[in-house]
Structure 1
Amino acid sequence: MHKPFIIIVLCTLHSITCAGLALFTNGARTPVSNHKLRPAVEDDLDDIVTVFIDAFRPSAGWQYAHLRDDDYTNYTWTCTRQFFQGEWESLHRSRTFANVITVPRDGGQYFSSDRAGERVVSFGVWNWMKPQEDAADSSFSFRPHQLHAALGGKCLEHLDVNTTRAADLAQQLSLAVEKYIRNLTEPQLYLNLLATHPDWDGHGFGAEQVEAGLQEAARVGMPVTLLASPDGWPLYDSLGFRSLANITHEMFDGLGTLWSEYMRWDEEEPGAPSALIVQ
């Protein structure tokens, strides 16, 4: 029997912030008027996978784990798409929501409500988190630090990944999430994953995605938490997130470290101490 393999979405690591772990965000704002922010639907998955791979591929974390990525471009896309389909079908709708930003696929105008004419260029995944969740109820879909996938066919061979490096990074990131995200004493909204296609970077889509989440959190009076990469940190800092802890991730083969930042946003008490319990 094949064990589920861990696909690294190295947000937290030198990549993007994954807000949850790595975030690929847009700091500069050059607004694009002809775009939509809306809930994600299943028909968006092809575009979401393309955004995800193209956004994360340049990151240090992705390059560290995906040593043979350039030789298996179609394979990587196909297996990632297979995984995302499975995650979508098992999504806990009451605990997770995902938004996308779209632009007209032909570069023109929106002519109807037919989503076939839209192209997803940015997406964000958010988790409503309860304090000290039971282990049986602790997993949440689309987590960026480790995407467990019981893939079939040739995807089981993981031809594009160094499995030793990937598994080690996933373990380190799991420990970070357990310590800095799950070990809270109050409910929170967790920015799990945020990505914008590189061709659309610089238009403020990352900020728009985050601001939509902040509005949801403010509506119910919850803080927002995330683990930011160096690339994502400036955006979150500009939006009022506070840096509360720096986390380093050791790489094998003497390649140094990747780092991320535990950050938190509170609407009413921007200077309040975190409810984080550090053991």
Structure 2
Amino acid sequence: MKKAMLLMAALALSACGGGSNSQQPTKPSEPTKPSGPVEPTDPGTELNGARGVYQGLMDTGESVTAMVQSDGEFYILVQSLENEGPKDDLSAVIFGTASVDEGTFTSDDAVLRNLDGGQGQPRSVSASYVADEYLTGTITDDATGEAVGFTATSRISGKVRPDLEQLSGDYYGGFFKGILDAAAESEYTYISIGNDNSFVGTRSVIANCGFTGTLATRTDDPLFNVTIDFPNEGCFLGNEVLAGIAYHDEEQNQIFLAVPNADKSGGFFLSGVRAY
């Protein structure tokens, strides 16, 4: 196993990831040379070869953004396509922890959450990957056995570290998506990220239910650690401790956040496009 993981780390060093256009792809795009700082490699450290970010399509036509952490935890954010491009708001999220070994990516603890409400639905994920190139496979409904395929190509190499300086700015989220147990909340949201790694979220209607947060670079994959706090405890998610990840697509000027609560019975999810 150790030899296999070392082999995957070597493959990751020989590949590169990135995006190819200013919009999310309606079909898999060719990876480009990473623009961020490259993580130094420790020969004694076993790294998840599938780590990174992938974007593509499900067989049903939705756009997917898969964020895979170095420890195998993953979030697949689902967006419907509109006018040959993605809407800013998210429709669903699939999350879990994958076992990654010799080009295979499997998870038997994944959960699908529709972001308009409802309880979580168990899913299994079975996929193949080439480090920093693609992730392709199926997501199976554990209750019915029905499966849907997906194909996604690398947006950024797993060995690139995120750049906080490139992240600061103002982002118009399509909609803040909050879920807690079977309940859901959705509202147009504006996020301002400062140079001090903090951010403030302003909501268009429920102004007294804004939120604050912090970002920190991760050392072993191209994602940020994120914490979010709703200061008003009377607001939806106001009593929850929220901690998760974010990805900044520099070429698309877009940010993705997946920030669950402690037991993953709820969370905060958002896709936002940078304001000019």
Q: Calculate the TM-score normalised by the size of structure 2.
A: 0.29
Structure with greater proportional strand content: 2
Which is bigger in relative contact order (C-alpha 8 A, separation at least 6)?
Answer: 1
Structure with greater proportional helix content: 1
